[in-house]
Amino acid sequence: ELVNLNELYNYILDRFDMMLKTDTNDNKKAKKNYTIKRDFTRRELWVEIDTDKFMQVVDNIMNNAIKYSPDGGVVTCRLLETHNHVILSISDQGLGIPKKDVSHIFDRFFRVDKARSRAQGGTGLGLAISKEVIELHGGKIWVDSIEGKGSTFYISLPYEEYEGDLWDEN
């Protein structure tokens, strides 16, 4: 379906902001603090995507950004357009990914440093599934990372500027 990406991205991030406020007994102890910063273009970007699948992708990257960061980290979420793509990025101030591992990060079941990852829980499937979904949409996903400093995940999707109303449809 044709989706307003600014709205959808905001909606996804609102849920992460909300999670910080809900103090259930379950997550009280394990809860990690974080701040989400948003830097979005003000132009409305309409893209053809599968909303549920796309939400899964952003959820996973956001969960990773929080999971692999120390308490109190800032996660910066950007949305911008180039002449024929939209680009979403999610930057964290976390552990980062060692250079030798960067090329494997989207492989099934791959996890950096088994011991470190085991303590965090998870299967190592999140990014492999994310890559599949984004490629099904004709897009690309990649990462820039510096070990010990943080990571930025990028998603680009093909985009054709859509002029206003649907007046010229059919």
User: Cβ of 88: how many Cβ atoms within 10 Å?
Assistant: 24
Minimum CB distance to ligand ATP, residue 123 (Å): 4
Burial of 114 (0-12, 13-18, 19+ CB in 10 A): exposed
Residue 62 in the binding site for ligand ATP (CB under 6 A): no
Minimum CB distance to Mg ion, residue 68 (Å): 9
Residue 64 in the binding site for Mg ion (CB under 5 A): yes
- List the beta bridge partners of residue 91: 76, 152
User: Cβ of 71: how many Cβ atoms within 10 Å?
Assistant: 9
Residue 141 in the binding site for ligand ATP (CB under 6 A): no
User: Cβ of 14: how many Cβ atoms within 10 Å?
Assistant: 12
> Which residue's Cβ has the minimum distance to Mg ion?
126
State which residue, 3 or 128, has the beta carbon closest to ligand ATP. 128
* Angle between helix 51-67 and 5-21 (nearest 10): 40
Contact pick of 75, 79, 112, 133 for ligand ATP (by CB under 6 A): 112
Residue 122 in the binding site for ligand ATP (CB under 6 A): yes
- List the beta bridge partners of residue 145: 151
What residues make contact with ligand ATP under the rule CB under 6 A? 60, 64-65, 68, 92, 94-97, 105, 110-112, 117, 122-128, 151
